[in-house]
Amino acid sequence: MAGMSPSERRLQKELMSLVKEPPPGVSVDPDIAERNLLHWIIDIRGAAGTLYEGERFQLQFKFSNKYPFDSPEVTFVGQNIPVHPHVYSNGHICLSILTDDWSPALSVQSVCLSIMSMLSSCKEKQRPPDNAFYVKTCNKNPKKTKWWYHDDSV
């Protein structure tokens, strides 16, 4: 752990515990994350009994050197972006803990679980109503978006 920045030290600990005891449906390739601790790709599987059962998704986490004081930038990447009222087709996620409600006591694991639970509680697969406009006009970094968190039901 010598020579690591405080953010990297915390991320190293988180990575080890996520590899050792991953929550159901979550897996991380330690080689990819260890090559660059500030950039992780996490595989998640849609939970059984939900609209996403059997589907696989990839989440990208990018951390700044201010982590955990600064929230990670979390987006869906890859071939399969879940069709969900809070997930834009470019992978951006409207979830308050990723910006306004971030806390340094949260972790990669708790963010993954929040996203899984957001998917699991979905009743109808659809894109956000403003998807087309948002995807055309947004910044590449979802943290630059001024999100409106108006729907707590899903």
Partner 1 sequence: MKVRIKNWTGVASWRWIANDDNCGICRMAFDGCCPDCKLPGDDCPLVWGQCSHCFHMHCIVKWLQSQTVNQQCPMCRQEWKFNNK
Active site (catalytic) residues: 94
One-letter amino acid identity for 143? K
- Shortest spacing between CB 56 and partner 1, in angstroms: 29
Neighbours of 10 (CB within 10 A): 18
Element (H, E) at 101: none
Q: Which CB atom, from 123 or from 146, has the smaller least distance to partner 1?
A: 146
Q: Which CB atom, from 24 or from 104, has the smaller least distance to partner 1?
A: 104
- Shortest spacing between CB 132 and partner 1, in angstroms: 32
Write out the residues near partner 1 by the rule CB under 8 A: 5-6, 9-10, 13-14, 66, 68-70, 103-105
Token pair for 1: 């752990």
Find out whether 143 and 71 touch, Cβ atoms under 8 Å.
yes
Q: Which CB atom, from 23 or from 104, has the smaller least distance to partner 1?
A: 104
- Shortest spacing between CB 21 and partner 1, in angstroms: 15
- Residues 41 and 33: their CA atoms lie apart, in Å, by 7
